[in-house]
Amino acid sequence: MDHQTILLDNGEEKVYCNPINTFKNERNSTNNQAIVFLGKKIPALFKKVRNESTTKTFLKQTKFTLTTKGMKIPTMAPAISAVKNNSNNNTHFLCPIFMGGFGNMMFQLAAHFGAAMSKGMREAKSKIDQTVKRFNIGSTRDVTLVGVHVRRGDMVNHKFGYNIATPEYLTKAVQYFKSKYKNVIFIISSQDIPWTKANMPNNTNVEYLTSPKREIIVATLTLCNHTITTVGSFSWWIGWLTGGEVTYFKWPAKEGSRLRKQYSKDFSDFFYPGWIGM
């Protein structure tokens, strides 16, 4: 089972983390081993970390091993583990291994950040920062990130009455943000990447999310400044949580369908006031 991680760093060294969990030492531009949670039970060394202000173990001990392909860790390892960078600068990373339901995951995340703050650690740069650099833009302060969620998949042939967003809508929404903001990068998630690539306007800076995990998609897209939604509640919540400007497809339900009966005449009971229908 794959486990997602969040990496923290201390001092001036920056560590970058992307969906496949690789990281790089920026200070000396040398590649370190990628951290890859494969979930295989491989015997390895033990490491125990304690909260120095108390006598109890704050982070449970875990087993892990460093290989040429990265770090492998058992599936049933505790929720939070400590990993020491394999360099000589004594930099440490905290890697939460999320287990259980959403509520349990939130407790794990809170404990992780609490431990990090007590040690003066700060959050590592995310993949968005790498994306910004790839387009030769100085920093996220100089760019406008627009999250795009294109829902197709099961809705294309669903008989309940969904109206799938059209290529014309996608083009219009993209042009709206490109005409209003500078250095726009569109961060896209879709169940139908080939269709989306074929219908995205040319000369557009685009980054496609490859993770199939819904929580990763939501977490990434809500870090953007604005949102292009299509149809469905998943898009709706991304737009709501992101803030900024949100565009939506005006006709999400087919006339005469069971789904259409659940909305008001102009769909105003579903779309938040101030969102932009197209």
> Helix, strand, or coil here: 17?
coil
Pairing mode, strands 144-150 and 226-228: parallel
pLDDT at 170: 92
pLDDT for 226 equals 96
The confidence score (pLDDT) of residue 83 equals: 41
* Spatial distance between the Cα atoms of 255 and 263, rounded to a whole number of angstroms: 11
| Positions of CATH 3.40.50 in the chain | 128-277
Q: What is the pLDDT of residue 74?
A: 38
pLDDT at 62 (0 to 100):
38
Distances (CA, A) of 199 to 25, 85, 171, 237: 38, 43, 8, 24
Residue 66: predicted pLDDT: 42
pTM as predicted: 0.52
- For residues 183-221, one letter each, b for 16 or more C-beta atoms within 10 angstroms of the residue's C-beta and e for the rest, the string is ebbbbbbbeeeebbeebbeeeebbbebebeeeeebbebb
Residue 171 contacts by C-beta under 8 Å, 6 or more apart in sequence? 199, 201
Structure tokens at 168: 């014309």
The series of mean pLDDT values per 10 residues for the chain, 278 residues long, is 31 29 32 29 29 29 41 38 42 57 71 69 57 58 88 67 84 96 91 90 88 78 91 86 90 75 76 87
**Mode of pairing for the β-strands spanning 226-228 and 246-248:** parallel
Q: Where are the alpha helices (DSSP H) in 69-166?
A: 102-118, 127-134
214-221 helix and 233-242 helix, angle to the nearest 10 degrees: 40
Q: What is the domain class of 128-277 according to CATH?
A: alpha beta
